[in-house]
């Protein structure tokens, strides 16, 4: 028989539930009636999920005596009380010591919460029969008296997909000791009503006698309104590097939108251990690794010169007075004071960046480039540069064609670069930033990289599994352009599966208030694996995109832009890079210039 351990907080909740339905909260949230009084999440903790390795039987997450290792969590940087930034949400890892209640088993409890944003993010784990995910339905109450419902799914803590986990730990604790086996925790986001302030959240009812949904933290995610993304890249894998010890990375990126204040975004995606950033700076690039002016130092967490990024988490620098010119190369310098042997990377940078000599220390403040003798063609850790103000961002979700594979290195001729310049040089429409979240070898349906561990595969997790991180959590995201599918159809995925994946992407983006634009898949005859069967699948997907029945807000016919009119299954030779799959500079320019900018603007038909 499954017995769930309840703490004294449950008695408080049960006592609260006898209050009349018209009971009104005191203080700032007095306008919101509730059937019972919400409590802070920590006041509801009724389950113990974390045990010390010296007392592995002192916790019981799953009703069978198993638990998470406190030592494993600490090794990942998930220490008690630590704020973890996941998908734009700031979530506090529970403060209680190992062996004391640290999470709540969802069963209709009301949680006191405040904030405005585009989503509510829960740090969760499911524990149930046969390792199945646990799903329940809850309610969000807003300060204006309205409410909305949500569906929350918590993957199983021992068998859920690694590709979407927040963190994976190497051991399972139990009454008989410790055993090897990956334990997982998940950050799951659900939509909120736009513009409304959250007052409280009612957790889902208990899923059943053999399934529990554990909630460790909950937060309103920052929607990024008031910011515009100037540059971005996806973490596409976790690969061996260096080792780098006490060195400074000087990464070259190209701005789209400009602004007077800036911040950077760093990510430790897919990692098993934290990484230390000793110092960071930003500058306009001069020649090579040299800055055009003294680099501006960046701080983290209200003034600290560096930061530690836990495994799986991200970090934002404090906004700084630094004018980002539009359409300009920037230098973002990161000092790594420790030894780094593996890093989350964007593999196909199509750009040369720089690295200081071993043991050379913090060179983030140097204007000269002589201290950076080595070069890189990847972007480690850095995932974004944002500017204050502006109208928000257009996000390009794609594969190698969006990533700019086969374009001229360092020339910024990817089709999203072309699109960004067009937005910045016109005045009829808002000057949106354009964020490039193309990943070479990426697919819509299938994970290329499995999402955990050091790997040479940098094709990324699927578009569906990275949508939250790479699109929905992007600063001020207003529109997503989905241009993927060629890798799915080339590698045997059925057209119906690709269509289902496109439908799912559109549904989730619409739930978060984004405009969704889809592009047709471009031709590839002449590439080694582009067989007649592949062509048939491509045509079937394109037929759906063109006649989408309201799934998308607009479509872009990139197939029609690039195809040879005399042989439409192949690319026009003038646009072909030479491999018959990837357009060259001319083809990418044609794609970027073919887009009707009005089709990307939210609120238009």
Coil vs helix vs strand at 294:
coil
Residue 525 region by backbone torsions, left for phi larger than 0, else alpha for psi between -120 and 50, else beta: beta
Per-residue pLDDT at 32 exceeds 50: no
**521: nearest Cα among 552, 497, 549, 488:** 488
Q: DSSP letters of 439-469?
A: -TT--SSS-SS-SSS--S--S-S-HHHHHII
Tell how strand 104-105 and strand 147-154 pair up: unpaired
**522: nearest Cα among 437, 435, 439, 582:** 582
The beta-strand segments (E) located in 389-432 are 393-398
Task: Tell me the pLDDT tens digit for each residue of 469-503.
Answer: 999 999 999 999 999 999 999 999 999 999 999 99
Per-residue pLDDT at 510 exceeds 70: yes
What CA–CA distance (Å, rounded) separates 64 from 103? 16
Neighbours of 600 (CB within 10 A): 24
Distances (CA, A) of 237 to 233, 316, 404, 483, 509: 12, 20, 17, 20, 24
Question: What confidence tier does 388 reach under pLDDT thresholds 50, 70, 90?
Answer: very high
Coil vs helix vs strand at 304:
strand
Cβ-contact 418, 558 below 8 angstroms:
no
Find where tokens 């110092």 sit. Answer: 279
CATH for the stretch 391-605: 3.40.50.1110
What CA–CA distance (Å, rounded) separates 435 from 35? 44
Per-residue pLDDT at 9 exceeds 80: no
| pLDDT above 90 coverage of the chain, percent | 90
| Tokens linked to 311 | 């495994």
* Bridge partners, residue 574, by sequence: none
pTM of the predicted model as reported, rounded to 2 decimal places: 0.93
Burial of 287 (C-beta count, 10 Å sphere; 0-12/13-18/19+): exposed
Question: What confidence tier does 17 reach under pLDDT thresholds 50, 70, 90?
Answer: very low
Q: In the chain, what are the domain boundaries?
A: 8-221, 237-387, 391-605
What CA–CA distance (Å, rounded) separates 311 from 319? 23
Topology classification of domain 237-387:
Jelly Rolls (2.60.120)
Q: Rounded to 5 degrees, what angle do the CA atoms 149, 153, 156 make?
A: 160
Cβ-contact 587, 579 below 8 angstroms:
no
Task: Tell me the pLDDT tens digit for each residue of 205-216.
Answer: 986 777 999 999
How confident is the model at residue 36, as a pLDDT? 64
Per-residue pLDDT at 404 exceeds 70: yes
b/e per residue, 269-279, with b = 16+ CB within 10 A? bbbbebbebbb
Q: Is the dihedral of CA 578, 584, 587, 591 positive or negative?
A: positive
Q: What is the mean pLDDT of residues 574-592?
A: 98
Residue 50 region by backbone torsions, left for phi larger than 0, else alpha for psi between -120 and 50, else beta: beta
Task: Tell me the pLDDT tens digit for each residue of 105-161.
Answer: 999 999 999 999 999 999 999 998 778 999 999 999 999 999 999 999 999 999 999
What CA–CA distance (Å, rounded) separates 554 from 244? 46
Q: Does 391-605 match 237-387 at the fold level?
A: no
How confident is the model at residue 395, as a pLDDT? 98
The set of residues, in sequence order, having a beta carbon less than 8 Å from that of 426 and lying 6+ positions away, is: 597
Q: Is the dihedral of CA 407, 451, 278, 384 positive or negative?
A: positive
What CA–CA distance (Å, rounded) separates 190 from 400? 30
């Amino acid at each position: 028989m499954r017995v769930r351990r309840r703490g004294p907080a449950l008695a408080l909740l049960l006592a609260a539930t006898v209050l009349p339905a018209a009971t009104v909260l005191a203080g700032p949230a007095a306008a919101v009636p509730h059937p019972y009084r919400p409590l802070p999440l920590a006041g509801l903790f009724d389950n113990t999920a974390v045990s010390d390795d010296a007392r592995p039987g002192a916790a019981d997450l799953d009703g069978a005596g198993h638990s998470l290792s406190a030592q494993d969590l600490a090794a990942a940087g998930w220490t008690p009380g630590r704020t973890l930034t996941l998908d734009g949400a700031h979530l506090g890892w529970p403060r209680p010591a190992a062996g004391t209640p640290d999470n709540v088993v969802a069963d209709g409890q009301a949680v006191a919460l405040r904030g405005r944003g585009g989503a509510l993010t829960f740090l969760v784990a499911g524990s149930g029969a046969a390792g199945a995910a646990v799903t329940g339905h809850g309610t969000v109450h807003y300060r204006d008296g309205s409410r909305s419902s949500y569906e929350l799914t918590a993957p199983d803590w021992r068998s859920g997909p690694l590709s979407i986990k927040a963190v994976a730990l190497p051991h399972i604790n139990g009454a008989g000791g410790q055993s090897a086996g990956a334990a997982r925790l998940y950050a799951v986001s659900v939509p909120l009503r736009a513009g409304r302030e959250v007052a409280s959240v009612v957790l889902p009812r208990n899923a059943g006698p053999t399934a529990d949904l554990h909630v460790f933290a909950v937060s309103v995610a920052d929607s990024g309104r008031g910011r515009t993304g100037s540059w971005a890249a996806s973490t596409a894998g976790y690969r061996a590097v260096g080792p780098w010890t006490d060195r400074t990375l000087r990464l070259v990126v190209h701005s789209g939108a400009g602004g007077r204040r800036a911040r950077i975004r760093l990510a430790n995606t897919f990692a098993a251990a934290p990484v230390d950033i000793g110092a960071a700076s930003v500058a306009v690039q001069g020649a090579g690794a040299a800055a055009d002016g003294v680099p501006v130092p960046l701080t983290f967490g209200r003034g600290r010169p560096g930061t530690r990024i836990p495994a799986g988490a991200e970090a934002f620098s404090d906004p700084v007075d630094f004018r980002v010119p539009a359409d300009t190369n920037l230098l973002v310098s990161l000092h790594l004071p420790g030894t780094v042997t593996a890093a989350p990377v964007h593999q196909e940078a199509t750009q040369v960046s720089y690295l200081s000599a071993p043991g050379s220390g913090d060179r983030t403040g140097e204007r000269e480039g002589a201290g950076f003798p080595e070069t890189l063609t990847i972007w480690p850790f850095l995932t974004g540069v944002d500017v204050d103000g502006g109208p928000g961002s257009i996000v390009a979700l794609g594969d190698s064609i969006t990533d700019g594979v086969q374009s001229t290195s360092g020339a910024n001729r990817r089709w999203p670069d072309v699109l960004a310049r067009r937005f910045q040089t016109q005045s009829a429409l808002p000057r949106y930033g354009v964020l490039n979240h193309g990943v070479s070898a990426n697919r819509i349906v299938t994970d290329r990289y499995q999402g955990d561990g050091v790997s040479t595969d940098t094709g990324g997790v699927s578009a569906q599994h990275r949508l939250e991180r790479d699109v929905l959590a992007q600063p001020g995201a207003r529109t997503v352009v989905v241009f993927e599918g060629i890798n799915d159809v080339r590698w045997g995925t059925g057209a119906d599966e690709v269509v289902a994946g496109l439908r799912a992407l559109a549904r989730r983006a619409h739930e978060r208030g984004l405009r969704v634009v889809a592009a047709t898949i471009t031709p590839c005859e002449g590439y080694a694996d582009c067989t007649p069967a592949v062509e048939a699948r491509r045509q079937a997907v394109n037929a759906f995109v063109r006649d989408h029945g309201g799934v998308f807000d607009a479509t872009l016919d990139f197939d029609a832009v690039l195809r040879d009119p005399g042989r439409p299954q192949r690319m026009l030779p003038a646009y072909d890079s030479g491999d018959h799959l990837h357009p060259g500079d001319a083809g990418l320019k044609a794609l970027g210039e073919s887009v009707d900018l009005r089709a990307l603007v939210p609120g238009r038909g």
